[in-house]
Structure 1
């Protein structure tokens, strides 16, 4: 290749984002050899066609991929490279999760910190509640509490709540014994999800407050430590208390409603309450699927994002769900038709608009 088409290591360094010392290391490792090396001066020259490989190399190293794996990705086809990337990311996440758990255990024993007993709950019930309520979480920069589960232990009950600001789920549990003390905090949702399998296998789970976290203890199982998230959890009780009066109430089979929503492949679906029944439709010209339902109050056409409505209905307890509607642009309350310990509030959308 003519020298005029090559660039010295300094220029290539600026183009690729790799330092000169890193380029020398990758050249010596055989991952990114220069296009040409001057036999007299030893100067290394790179071609413009190598910039793309160097850039990807830098990006792979930025996600802590080992050099051998980097070389395999660079030399693989697109499908194999994607598989290797997914494999690496999974490993990093697993290692980070394990490190976080171990760090929580270490923090709890430093200085012989003793957990303060809060309450005890039946393990399978707690596991179900965690899975149901965590469907309403979200990851938002600057608002870490939206990715967590807010736990409040009162004198008579334990309340679990999560919200992504467009959907709110809350469930009240009856403790297995009277709570020792009141306690409230927003616990990391990912760490609770990771504990669900252990919770489900435990007859009884005891909750203990520890500095910066919550300890879950069960006989015959390793203690689980879930960290508290920073920030104030939204004042959801004020929101629930300020809801307008219900103008339309619909009771319908949970499975029939879910199936009707599934049959419409659109991002938005509408519930059209009329003639004492309910239609599920996807577009203005779509007659929709008529569902057998019990409806009272005013006729109403109300639209939802599929990603908001579906999990709210699917996590409801029991065969039938009750929807309390307040108008086309007002929050909708979804709960079991015969049990009130799990409540979800979802925001509708206007046709053609996002939530």
Structure 2
């Protein structure tokens, strides 16, 4: 190779996104050895075909992969390297979740204030409720409240609500033991989902509130702590109160509809009701087939994003779902036909983008 084909360490640093000091470190670690080193000046030179390895090295270090794992990933084939990256990220997430739980315990210990008893519920029931409503959460840095579950406790019931702006899901539970406390706050959904894995194995969970979060007390296990989200939760009750009465109602077998949605192509699903006959259609106007559905009320046609509609159906309780329709630009209420304590609202879309 001619000297003109080689790049100085400064040029290579600029093209690879690595600093010269980092390149020296990786050269001394034998992860990225220069193509040539001037024996007199000690200047290091690199070949253009070393850029892909340098780029991969930089990206692996950016996700926090240790040097030994980076070396193995760089020398592995694509499939094995991908597996190693997935394994590393899973470990990072596991460690972060453990750190968050430990931080919540430390915060609770530092404040050392007695909790306010909120409710006592069956562990599996509370875990199911968390998983059902958390499908309507979303991670959005500008609006952290969307990754929270709003909990409202009163003397007779406890309600869990979540929304990602396109869906709203709310579940009401009757506690095993009633308290006189009235309390409401938004709790981190990730903390609750992690706690749900433990709650599912506990017959009873005692929920207590503190200034920084909620404490879930379970027998013969460490207390579970979930942090609060300080951003105000949307006034969903006012929105629900202002919804007009449904003009059309469709009842459909839940599992048949889910299977049809899974087999459908495209991003959109349309629900058309004509002369009392409901039909589900793909974005290409292909019918999803006979789904054992019935309808009453006015003719209507509503279109949904599949990513909004499918979770709303899948989290419903029981073998059937009931859809309360109000028009093509208003939320559709998805509720269980046999139990009304889980309610989900799903926003339709305009295929031409006039509203969403």
Instruction: Please give the range of the TM-score, normalised by the shorter of the 2 chains.
Output: over 0.9
Q: In the alignment, is the contact (CA less than 8 A) between 2:104 and 2:225 conserved in 1?
A: yes
For residues 250 and 52 of structure 2, the distance between their equivalents in structure 1, rounded to whole angstroms, comes to: 58
For 1:129-278, what aligned pairs fall within 5 Å after superposition? 129-278=129-278
What's the CA shift string for 1:185-230, capped at 9, x where partnerless? Answer: 2111112111112111211111111232111111122211111123
Please give the alpha-carbon distance, in whole angstroms, between the structure 2 residues aligned to 1:322 and 1:262: 19
Whether 1:48 aligns to 2:36 is no
| Structure 1 residues 64 and 262: alpha-carbon distance in aligned structure 2, compared to 1, 3 A threshold | closer
Cα distance in structure 2, aligned partners of 1:12 and 1:50: 9
The answer for the alignment partner of 2:341 in structure 1 is 341
Where 2:340 maps in the other structure, the secondary structure is coil
| Residues 166-200 of structure 1, C-alpha deviations (whole Å, 9 max, x = no match) | 11000111112223422212111112111112111
Q: Which residue of 1 aligns with 2:85?
A: 85
- Per-residue Cα deviation, 1:102-149 (whole angstroms, up to 9, x for no partner): 111111112533322222111111011111111111111211111111
- Pairing 1:27–2:59 present: no
CA deviation digits over 1:214-272, x for unaligned, max 9?
Answer: 11111122211111123111111111111112111122222233233334223211222
**Kindly tell me: are residues 210 and 300 of structure 1, through their superposed partners in 2, closer, same or farther at Cα, counting changes over 3 Å?**
same
Question: Is 1:6 equivalent to 2:6 in the alignment?
Answer: yes
Counterpart-to-counterpart distance in 1, 2:286 and 2:261 = 13
| C-alpha RMSD of matched pairs (Å) | 1.8
Q: What secondary structure sits across from 2:162 in the alignment? A: strand
Match of 1:279 in 2: 279
TM-score (norm 1): 0.94
For structure 1, the 5+ residue unaligned runs are none
Q: 1:259 to 1:9 in 2, by over 3 A?
A: closer
Moved more, 282-291 or 298-307: 282-291
Which residue matches 1:305?
A: 305
CA distance in 1, matches of 2:87, 2:284: 44
CA contact (8 A) 1:214 1:226 kept: yes
1:304-354 deviations in whole A, cap 9, x for unaligned? Answer: 111211211121112222111111221111111232111001111223548
Q: How far did 1:55 drift?
A: 2.5
Bigger shift: residues 273-282 or 62-71: 273-282
CA spacing shift, 1:263–1:73, aligned 2, 3 Å: closer
- CA distance, structure 1, for counterparts of residue 90 and residue 260 of structure 2: 35
Distance in 2, matches of 1:204 and 1:12, equals: 61
Q: What CA distance in whole angstroms lies between the structure 2 residues aligned with 1:116 and 1:270?
A: 47
Shift of residue 80, structure 1, vs aligned partner: 1.4
- SS of the aligned residue for 2:59 comes to helix
Separation (CA, whole Å) in 2 of partners of 1:4 and 1:82: 35
Task: Give the aligned partner of residue 110 of structure 1.
Answer: 110
| Aligned position for 1:289 | 289
CA distance in 2, matches of 1:284, 1:13: 50
1:95 corresponds in structure 2 to: 95
Gaps of 5+ in 2: none
CA distance in structure 2 between the partners assigned to 1:225 and 1:33 by the alignment: 48
